[in-house]
Amino acid sequence: MVEWSENERSIISNIFSNLDYNDIGPKALVRCLIVYPWTQRYFTSFGNLYNAEAISTNPKVAAHGIKVLHGLDRALKNMDNIKATYAELSVLHSEKLHVDPDNFKLLSDCLTIVVAGKLGSAFTPEIQATFQKFLAVVVSALGKQYH
């Protein structure tokens, strides 16, 4: 089981309670689709993804970015049992969505960079380490039910 110190819990809680999901969610997914274009393979129904401009202004991408970011809420509420909490979502991503789990890390790296850009120097090395630990645990849990 993953251990969280009081400090780490407080850091994660603070990041998310001050997060503008409607801003950060879209920015993270947009960045992922631009920086790692092969991830666009999962969004063929989203319409125009032909270039960075199209991706950045695509309303379906924006809506989905918000949805995905809110997906992290369950980890926030169940930090001591993230693996079990994401079992259902893991099955969904494996059996229905057929997402290569390597992609989860790509999105989480983009999210880290977007949050860094938003928080600026407040995104200290310690806060970055805790945030990435949190994301790594979620990413691992999402890949757990693949077989």
Partner 1 sequence: MSLTEKDKAAVKALWAKVSKVMDTVGGEALGRMLLVYPQTKTYFSHWPDLTPGSEPVMVHGKLILGGVTEAVSKIDNLRGGLLELSELHAFKLRVDPSNFKMLAHCAMVVIAIMFPKDFTPETHVAFDKFLAAVALGLSEKYR
Residues that bind partner 1 (CB under 8 A): 30-31, 34-35, 52, 55-56, 109, 112-114, 116-121, 123, 125-126, 128-129, 132
| 8 A C-beta contact, residue 58 and residue 49 | yes
Residue closer to partner 1 (CB basis): 88 or 126: 126
| 8 A C-beta contact, residue 25 and residue 68 | yes
Residue closer to partner 1 (CB basis): 21 or 123: 123
Residue closer to partner 1 (CB basis): 61 or 99: 61
Q: How far is the CB of 117 from partner 1 (least distance, A)?
A: 4
Q: How far is the CB of 78 from partner 1 (least distance, A)?
A: 24
Q: Which residues contact 92 (CB under 8 A, 6 or more apart)?
A: none
Residue closer to partner 1 (CB basis): 98 or 120: 120
Residue closer to partner 1 (CB basis): 63 or 116: 116
Q: How far is the CB of 94 from partner 1 (least distance, A)?
A: 25
Q: In whole angstroms, what is the distance from residue 17 CA to residue 108 CA? A: 18
Q: How far is the CB of 95 from partner 1 (least distance, A)?
A: 30
Q: In whole angstroms, what is the distance from residue 98 CA to residue 109 CA? A: 20
Q: How far is the CB of 119 from partner 1 (least distance, A)?
A: 8
| 8 A C-beta contact, residue 29 and residue 107 | yes
Q: In whole angstroms, what is the distance from residue 20 CA to residue 128 CA? A: 18
- E-strand ranges in 31-121 read none
